[in-house]
Amino acid sequence: MTIERQLLYPKHWPAWIGLGLLWLLAHLPRRLSYALGAGIGRLFYYFAKARRHICEVNLKLCFPELSDAEHALLVKKTMRNQGVGLMETLRVWFIAPEKLGVELELLGREHLEVAEGEPGVIVIGTHFTTLDVCGTLIGFQYPSDSFYRKHKNPVFEYILSRSRGRYGEPIHRRDIKRALRRLREGRRLYYLPDQDYGRKSTEFVPFFGIPASTTIATSTLAKGGRARVVYAKQQRLDSGRRYRVEMIPLDNFPSGDPIADARAINALLEENIRLVPEQYMWVHRRFKTRPKGEAGFY
């Protein structure tokens, strides 16, 4: 991508200076980057009080069996991982995957293969702090399209589009027709269905035993794109030196029952979270939308 001339105007210089500083941070040695990310996460714990509150509420709801001490420790670990994930994201923005100095253990890679003339694959990613680094490492080997929401700052939008577009096509989140066409052409689509998207095209499906507003669009995409669906189970190992991702195929998907399909995805997500609960992005208000008449949690 070439830089548009208007992005070089003086009004954008502060954004470019900020990106320059982020570039420098991204090029720190990996171990130092991990340590800095952990330190940033500790600062998040003490100063990002609103996000810490959301994290505390989510973990209380989803892990009621924890003692107060265990809960407090998990909150601290989770906030620490937010900082680690932030530094990992910076690194994949500015550094080529083969130069990151990390290893990817990819299990079930055969489920990502697409035979010539066959429809594509929907890869279900979820909001772990490893999302960007694992998505980049996988995309380097198996290029995948992805939905995106345009950034308000044009300079950051340029950088993000450049990063997203290296291993697949960024598709505007409302351009469903293009996503379906790409899937029918045999492409892969990296898709994230695990946030609270309100009441439109959603159903209340159990997540850790709690009714959670869950999108049913995954079934629509799979049916319209005639695509297979796999879940990307992920975790960070060895202080960010290794990442393990297992591709788990969803059989009989879509099943014809979008609610049952959403239950299946949430069940896989729960299994992944219980493996490494501190690596999930609990700072999002996953239970923001409540059934009518039910009080909010936050």
Residue 180 CB-density burial (10 A; 0-12 exposed, 13-18 middle, 19+ buried): buried
Residues 24-70: tens digit of each pLDDT: 999 999 999 999 999 999 999 999 999 999 999 999 999 999 999 99
Is the pLDDT at 244 greater than 60? The verdict is yes
185-to-88, 116, 122, 232, 265 alpha-carbon distances in Å = 32, 9, 13, 22, 24
- Amino acid identity of residue 278, one-letter, is E
Distance separating alpha carbons of residues 160 and 169, to the nearest angstrom: 12
pLDDT band, very low/low/confident/very high, at 263 (cuts 50, 70, 90): very high
Whether 76 shows a pLDDT value over 80: the answer reads yes
The pair of three-digit structure tokens given for residue 241, joined into one six-digit string:
């030196």
pLDDT of residue 163: 78
In the predicted model, is pLDDT for residue 258 greater than 60? yes
Exposure class string for 189-220: b at 16+ Cβ within 10 A, else e? bbbbbbbbeeeeebbbbebbeeebbbbbbbbb
297 found inside a domain: no
Mean pLDDT of the chain: 94
- Does some domain include residue 288? no
Whole-structure pTM value:
0.92
Would you say 63 and 277 are in contact if contact means Cβ atoms under 8 Å apart? yes
Q: How confident is the model at residue 232 (pLDDT cuts 50, 70, 90)?
A: very high
Residue 138 has pLDDT above 90, yes or no: yes
Per the structure, the count of domains in the chain is 1
**Domain membership of residue 75 as a residue range:** 12-279
> Which of 90-104, 141-155, 279-293 has the least mean pLDDT?
141-155
- Percent of the chain topping pLDDT 70: 99
What confidence category does residue 1 fall into, taking pLDDT thresholds of 50, 70 and 90? low
List, in order, residues 6 or more apart from 21 with CB less than 8 Å away.
Answer: none
Whether residue 6 is contained in a domain is answered as: no
pLDDT, one tens digit per residue, over 158-209 is: 888 777 778 888 888 889 999 999 999 999 999 999 999 999 889 999 999 9
Is 284 inside any structural domain? Answer: no
Segment 116-136 shows an average pLDDT of: 95
Can you tell me whether residue 261 is helix, strand or coil?
Answer: helix
Q: Decide if 95 is inside a domain.
A: yes
Categorize the per-residue pLDDT at 2 as very low, low, confident or very high, splitting at 50, 70 and 90: low
Query: Does residue 135 have a pLDDT over 90?
Result: yes
For residue 54, which phi and psi values (nearest 5 degrees)? -60, -45
Expressed in angstroms, the distance from the first to the final Cα of the chain is: 42
Does the residue 52 lie in any domain? yes
What is the sign, positive or negative, of the torsion defined by CA atoms of 288, 277, 243, 264? negative
| Domain membership flag for residue 153 | yes
Q: Kind and range of the H or E element at 234? A: strand 228-237
In this prediction, residue 233 has a pLDDT band, given cuts at 50, 70 and 90, of very high
pLDDT at 9: 85
The string over 227-253, giving b where at least 16 C-beta atoms fall within 10 Å of a residue's C-beta and e elsewhere, is bbbbbbbbbbeeebeebbbbbbebeeb
- Token duo for residue 170: 């960024």
Burial label, 117 (beta-carbon count in 10 A; 0-12, 13-18, 19+) = exposed
pLDDT tens-digit series, residues 98-115: 999 999 999 999 999 999
H or E segment at 213? strand 210-215
User: Does any domain span residue 296?
Assistant: no
